[in-house]
Amino acid sequence: MPVSPDMAEDLASAVSTLYEAAELALIERVTKALAEGLDSPLWTALKLQSIGQVRTAIEDIIAALQSNATGAIHSAVAEAYNRGTQAAVVELGAVAPTVAAIPAGTRAVDRLAAALVQETSATHTRILRTGMDVYRHTVAEATSAPLLGTSTRREAAERSLARFADRGVTGFVDRAGRAWNLTSYTEMATRSALGRAAVQAHTDQLASVGVDLVRVSDAPEECERCRPWEGKVLRREGAEGAGTVEVEHATEDGEMVTVRVAGSLPEARAAGLMHPNCRHSISIYLPGVTQPAPPKADRTRATYEQSQQQRYLERQVRAWKRKAAGAIDDDKKAKANAKVRAYQGRIRTLTAETGLPRKSHREQIGSGAAR
């Protein structure tokens, strides 16, 4: 069967949910620490005395995250690699029934997992810094506001915590210069890594039996980056650029076939093919056997823009869950929870109208999330 980053997408939730839960726990812990005794005249002094306790609590959240995420990452990468391998075995079995899977690429799995652990672990320092910065800033703002006559201590604290809940943990920038918050960044990084693991396993398996050409599917919901490669034949590796190659017929010994190739798979991926959210797949191209790609059919599924609308609504669900976690009073928490339900309703409507699959795990913050 063809391989696609999409085939490992469900595995990413095991990792991203841990980071979502950690972010929510951070917001809840800082909010609770600041809300305690908020109306006491000794509040400022008590909060300054508690800085060490708050730091320890945040470090405990990070330690638990580090421990759980490392194991989850290794398991997810190994399973993604296994799925890619099995996909190739199924494809090859259709033309060579005796083909068996090559031994699991332990080094490849370890390398991919270690890279993802390093990338996600780099966010942990930011978690601690953000939590402590918000705590100190809120104490300062809530202390000075009454003295300046601009607002009450409670109002100032609510404003500061609302900004924190709205943003979450931020400050992450990808290679393209795009800014992300913690949960979106780790989800993107994890899904990218697992997609790479599945595709690499597939191509490793093809390389082991000498298959040099692959073909890109014609997928619904395609974007501008992927569209140029749809239906094209690519070299599994090697030289970039379009051209023709003379290769032996897949089933007729000695018969040569001329194949038009659009470039190499690494070249296409560098140009954006198989990015996160990509729905394209890669399959074996057998010279003289694989039929030309059929004409593009009328779209019966959702457009790429509609899939991005779903992603937006999912982000709103998570954002309002963060706001509920950062609310000091019950009324604001109830209003935030109502927003969560409203956006979830919009997702249900969109998926019903377009046929897009609903991915509830992408709406989850984690255990303890406001429902």
Do 366 and 309 lie in one domain? The reply is: yes
Do 134 and 233 lie in one domain? The reply is: no
Cα separation, 69 vs 28, whole angstroms: 20
Please tell me the predicted confidence (pLDDT) of residue 150.
Answer: 84
For the chain, list the strands marked E by DSSP.
Answer: 170-173, 179-181, 213-216, 233-235, 243-248, 256-261, 263-264, 282-284
Do 203 and 73 lie in one domain? The reply is: yes
Please tell me the predicted confidence (pLDDT) of residue 103.
Answer: 56
Domain boundary residue, one of 156, 180, 210 = 210
- Helix, strand, coil fractions of the chain, as percent rounded to 5: 60, 10, 30
Buried b (16+ CB within 10 A) or exposed e, 47-66: beebeeebeebbeebbeebe
Query: Helix (H, G, I), strand (E, B), or coil: what is residue 203?
Result: helix
Do 259 and 128 lie in one domain? The reply is: no
HSE at residue 165, side-chain half, CA atoms within 13 A, is: 31
Do 68 and 25 lie in one domain? The reply is: yes
Do 258 and 334 lie in one domain? The reply is: no
Please tell me the predicted confidence (pLDDT) of residue 294.
Answer: 63
Residue that is written with structure tokens 């800014």 in the block: 179
Tell me which DSSP letter residue 47 carries: H
Domain boundary residue, one of 242, 264, 291 = 291
Do 218 and 203 lie in one domain? The reply is: no
Per-run averaged pLDDT (10 residues), the chain, 371 residues: 82 91 94 95 97 98 97 95 90 62 70 94 95 97 92 94 91 82 89 91 89 87 82 91 90 89 94 82 89 59 76 90 88 92 94 81 46 33
Give first-to-last CA distance, the chain, whole Å.
39
Structural domain range at position 350: 300-371
Do 287 and 359 lie in one domain? The reply is: no
Q: What is the value of pTM for the model shown? A: 0.79
Q: What is the dihedral of CA 89, 92, 98, 99, to 10 degrees?
A: -50
Do 190 and 216 lie in one domain? The reply is: no
Phi, psi at residue 233, to the nearest 5°? -90, 135
Do 139 and 244 lie in one domain? The reply is: no
Query: Helix (H, G, I), strand (E, B), or coil: what is residue 215?
Result: strand
Residues 6+ apart with CB under 8 A from 349: none
Domains of the chain: total: 3
Do 285 and 320 lie in one domain? The reply is: no
C-beta of residue 195 within 8 angstroms of C-beta of residue 229: no
Domain boundary residue, one of 162, 181, 210 = 210
**Residue 178 CB coordination number (10 Å):** 11
Task: Report DSSP letters for 226-282, one per residue.
Answer: TGGGTT-EEESSS--S-EEEEEE-SSSTT-EEEEEE-EEHHHHHHTTTT-TT----E
Do 200 and 238 lie in one domain? The reply is: no
